[in-house]
Amino acid sequence: MNIYLLRHGQTEENRKGSYYGNMDISLNAKGISQGIKARDFFNDIKLDRVYVSNKRRTLEMAKLALGLEKIEVIQDDRINETNFGDFEGRTYDEILKLYPKESMCWKENWKEFVPPNGESYIKLCERVKSFMGDIKRLENENILICAHSGVIRAIYCYIMDQNIDLFWKFGCKNGDISIIKYEYGNLYIDAIIHN
C-alpha cells in the first residue's frame, strides 16, 4: 500500500506564524498555487481513497491537487490539527506575553501540556494512532491523506514505533508530499518531497 501525505497549502495564519489548529481558514494565493503544483505529482496516480480533515484548507488542497478527478473525499476529524484552544490565532511571542504562566508549563512539558480550552500533543497522537490503525486494515493500493503539519509529524512518530519524542525531528512545510509504504506489516517513510 502507498500512503501519500499532503500538507495543505499556505494560509494567512501560516504566513503570520500563528498557532491555529482549530480555526477553519482557507488557502491564500500562495497556498492555491502550492495545490496546483501538487497536481503534477498526483497526475498519474490512481487513488483509491482520499482522506481530509474537517477543515476547509485540507479539502481545498485535495481538490486542487487532484484537479478534475472524480473521487470520494472522506472527512475524518481524527486528522484535524492540534486544538490550541485560547492560543488560537496568536503568534508564539503573543502567547508568551499573554500567557506567561501557561507558556512556562508548555516549555517544561510540551507533550502533556493542554492550552486553555485546547488539547495536548499526546491527545493528537492518540487520535492519529486510531486513524492509522484503521488505514492499515484497508486493502487499497493508493491512499491520499491531506492533513496538517502536526498530524503528519504524529504519523511519522507512529511509524517510528509511536515515539512522540521524535515529533519535532521532522520538518513539514506547506504543500510537502510524503510517501509512506505499508508492506508485509511494516510501515516506513519512503520519501519526503518539498513541493
For the chain, the structural domain boundaries read: 2-83+120-193
> Rounded to the nearest 5 degrees, what angle is found at the Cα of 76, between the Cα atoms of 90 and 129?
85
Collapsing DSSP to helix, strand or coil, 106 comes out as helix
Q: How much of the chain exceeds pLDDT 70, in percent?
A: 98
Average of per-residue pLDDT values in the chain: 95
| Displacement of CA 3 from its chain's centroid (Å) | 13
Q: Count Cβ neighbours within 10 Å for each residue of 48-81 and write b for 16 or more, e otherwise.
A: ebbbbbebebbbbbbbbbbeeeeeeeeebebbbb
How does residue 135 score in pLDDT terms, banded at 50, 70 and 90? very high
Confidence of residue 194 (pLDDT cuts 50, 70, 90): confident
Q: Name the one residue in this structure whose C-alpha cell is 490550541.
A: 84
pLDDT at 68: 65
- Scanning 44-91, the segments in alpha helix (DSSP H) are 56-66
Q: What is the β-pairing status of strands 2-7 and 177-183?
A: antiparallel
pLDDT tens digits for range 29-57? 999 999 999 999 999 899 999 999 999 99
Which amino acid, 161? Answer: D
Interaxial angle between packed helices 56-66 and 29-42, expressed in degrees from 0 to 180 and rounded to the nearest 10: 50
Q: What is the pLDDT of residue 72?
A: 80
Asked whether the beta carbons of 77 and 54 are under 8 A apart, the reply is yes
CATH class of segment(s) 2-83+120-193: alpha beta
Assign 118 to helix, strand or coil.
Answer: coil
Average pLDDT over residues 168-187: 95
pTM given for the model: 0.94
Q: Which DSSP letter does residue 84 get?
A: -
Q: What is the average per-residue pLDDT within 147-162? A: 97
User: Is residue 69 predicted with pLDDT exceeding 70?
Assistant: no
Confidence of residue 146 (pLDDT cuts 50, 70, 90): very high
